[in-house]
Amino acid sequence: MASTVVSVNNLTKKFPAPGSGEEFTVLDSISLDVEAGNFASIVGPSGCGKSTLLNIIAGIETHESGSLKVFPKAGTSNSAAHIGYVFQSPRLLNWLTVKDNIQFALEAQNIPRERWHELVTKYLEMVGLGGQERNYPLNLSGGMQQRVAITRALAIEPDVLLMDEPFSHLDEITARKMRLDLMEILQRAKTTILFVTHDLREAVFLSDQIYMMNTKPARIFKRVRIDVPRPRKPEDPRLFDLEKDLVREFFSELEAQGYK
Ligand SMILES: Nc1ncnc2c1ncn2[C@@H]1O[C@H](COP(=O)(O)OP(=O)(O)O)[C@@H](O)[C@H]1O
Ligand SMILES: [Mg+2]
């Protein structure tokens, strides 16, 4: 039976409105679940609150009401869940080598030093960066830097990997290759993912489950399962048809909300 890794219930978040003493509601009664081993995506327009939601799940942003829980993997002795996070930009420490960047994260998660070498080697190999241990981030292309960021997040063997529009800063050819590679990597690493994007095509291609979010305030207005079997091809007409239907639904939802 599938177990739940992330459970968010009726979560509401407010921010102070700029220039007034008032608050505005960013996230309104958000509920979602991510099952172990699943790839779940949240899709919504820019500025709707996707990054805010991931930050709340990562524990680096507060919320007003509702609850959330991230469960540690069954069979581990960890009392708190390990959460991996990949941001839009790689956010590497440019004065440290690739290996030291990854070890920095391992140390922060209290992973025993005797496992560092094995973990760095295994996950660099998995993302296609074997042999880059001693290189520095600024010698790498944008795509390779983002692969280091993915390695850093995978190497802590997270209970859930949060990804915030991780390919949106890359050119489309690099992004496409990264999406294909990500699918393969995740099948090997068996990681549970919560992925955020404003790109429906990307979400349909990658996901088992999509949560569609509207805006101001953001609510989840639809939850869709993508049952197209894996491995998937980006040009699969079934994916294209799903994308077309979902784009249509998005427009009518946002129009009904008066979105401009
Ligand atoms: N720290 C903050 N203080 C006040 N407002 C914020 C803060 N962070 C984000 N916001 C506002 O919350 C809304 C959602 O932002 P964000 O989560 O970054 O959206 P998304 O990631 O979907 O583009 C935006 O209107 C943004 O201006
Ligand atoms: Mg964002």
Does the beta carbon of 139 sit less than 6 angstroms from any atom of ligand 1? no
For the cut 80, the answer to whether the pLDDT of residue 260 exceeds it is no
pLDDT per position as a tens digit, 158-217? 999 999 999 999 999 999 999 999 999 998 899 999 999 999 999 999 999 999 999 999
Secondary element (H or E) of residue 63: none
Ligand at minimal distance from the CA of 218 is: 1
Task: Tell me what pLDDT residue 73 has.
Answer: 79
Return the pLDDT at 52: 98
DSSP of 82-129: -EEEE-SS----TTS-HHHHHHHHHHHTT--GGGHHHHHHHHHHHTT-
User: Which ligand 1 atom is at minimum distance from the Cα of 44?
Assistant: 22
Alpha carbon of 116 to ligand 2 centroid (Å) = 31
Kindly report, residue by residue over 87-144, the tens digit of the pLDDT.
Answer: 999 999 999 999 999 999 999 999 999 999 999 999 999 999 999 999 999 999 999 9
- Decide: 24 in ligand 1 pocket, CB within 6 A: no
Note the pLDDT of residue 100: 98
Residue 49 Cβ inside 6 Å of ligand 1? The answer reads: yes
Task: Report pLDDT for 180.
Answer: 96
Mean per-residue pLDDT for 55-73? 95
- Ligand 2 centroid – CA 169 distance (Å): 12
Ligand 1 pocket, residue 46 CB under 6 Å = yes
Angle at 206 between CA 236 and CA 50, to 5 degrees: 135
Cα–Cα distance, 178 to 257 (Å, whole number): 34
CA distance 209 to 3: 15
> Which ligand has the nearest atom to the CA of 60?
1
Q: Is the pLDDT of residue 21 over 90?
A: no
Q: What number does the ligand 1 atom closest to the CA of 45 have?
A: 22
For residue 258, is pLDDT > 90?
Answer: no
Ligand 1: nearest atom to the Cα of 164: 21
pLDDT of the residue at 1: 59
Per-residue confidence (pLDDT) for residue 247, from 0 to 100: 96
Whether 17 is in the pocket of ligand 1, judged by its Cβ within 6 Å, is: no
What digits encode the pLDDT tens for the residues 235-253?
Answer: 999 999 999 999 999 999 9
CA of 4 to the centre of ligand 1 (A): 27
Q: What SS3 state is found at 131?
A: coil
Residue by residue, DSSP assigns 3-55 as -EEEEEEEEEEEEEPTTSS-EEEEEEEEEEEEETT-EEEEE--TTSSHHHHHH
Query: Would you put residue 219 in left (φ > 0), alpha (ψ -120 to 50) or beta?
Result: beta
Q: What is the mean pLDDT of residues 9-30?
A: 94
